[in-house]
Structure 1
Amino acid sequence: MIERRLVTTGLKTLLADLTGRPVGVGALPVDTQGKPVAPPYTVLYPLDHTTNDATLADRHTTAVSEYQATFVSGPTPGQPDSRGGYEQAQWMADRGRKVVERPADGSTGYAHTLTIPGATCWKREATEAGGTSDPTDAIITSVIRFRLHLETSA
């Protein structure tokens, strides 16, 4: 069986590598002292996780995991009148969308490794889900939903 916790950790790590910014799971990311970090950052929300491979002798060797990644822009720390903007949020989303990027040389697989112990992700999907803004907090977001098709590996 594919452990959801390991899938979440793998996607979180990949998004942090691609954006160069912190990622929180279901909450704002925090620093080493446990304090929320300043934007930009990503909040990763685990959604559905299906383990039924729809066969009579289902051995739960496959899974489909879905996530929502909310890419958050925000005011510049130390600048009281600054605001988050669409350009910053879209830059973050563009970096995050690289989860599904294919190699430039046309070879098979994906350009960026998604490491999940005991599982292989053989198909990745990304769907733009829009974005939101909160003018009172000066925060703008862009949202992508990811679907990861997995199978156990040897």
Structure 2
Amino acid sequence: MNVIPCEQNEELRRRIEDYAETLKVEAHKLGMHGLTEQEFYNSGLFRGAIERIRGQFSATMREKRDFVFRVLNHMQDGGFIADWTSAGDSNRHDYSIRLPTGRVAVIELKGCLDGNNTNIFERPPHAQEFIIWSVCTNPGADPRHNVWSGIHTRLSAEIIFRSQSALTG
């Protein structure tokens, strides 16, 4: 068994690649921009629109937060954690959890681990446990690659750069 049990949907990945190629080639025909094909591709309009859409998808945390809410409530109902709270927008982390032993665990919720925001984390001083939890909602993502990339090229490099221990913070 692989350490990462999730797998990428190969058929969906292929269809996404095909559609993306069609979109790149035919994008100048969409919308009422009034530009020629050459003007369109030289204008930055297409790239700007793609980045805007990408940012809008990345910024939405509702689906991830709903999932985490259900998981943490289930853990609390089962007695695995004593209680939990959302840390709110003013904190760098997302959730604080009190374990049955009284220890405090803090969760920093991330999307797919292959992006730059993986490097943005700060273990708060009150955290006795610090967890970076990846909830990747991109159906075209490769979970095995994203976890490998996140750990090996992002998290470990950042921890080394900060001269931190993964165990002691």
* Structure number having the greater strand percentage: 1
TM-score over 0.5 for the alignment? no
Q: TM-score, normalised by structure 2?
A: 0.27
Q: TM-score, normalised by structure 1?
A: 0.29
* Structure of higher CA gyration radius: 2
- Greater RCO, CA 8 A, separation 6+: 1
* Structure number having the greater helix percentage: 2
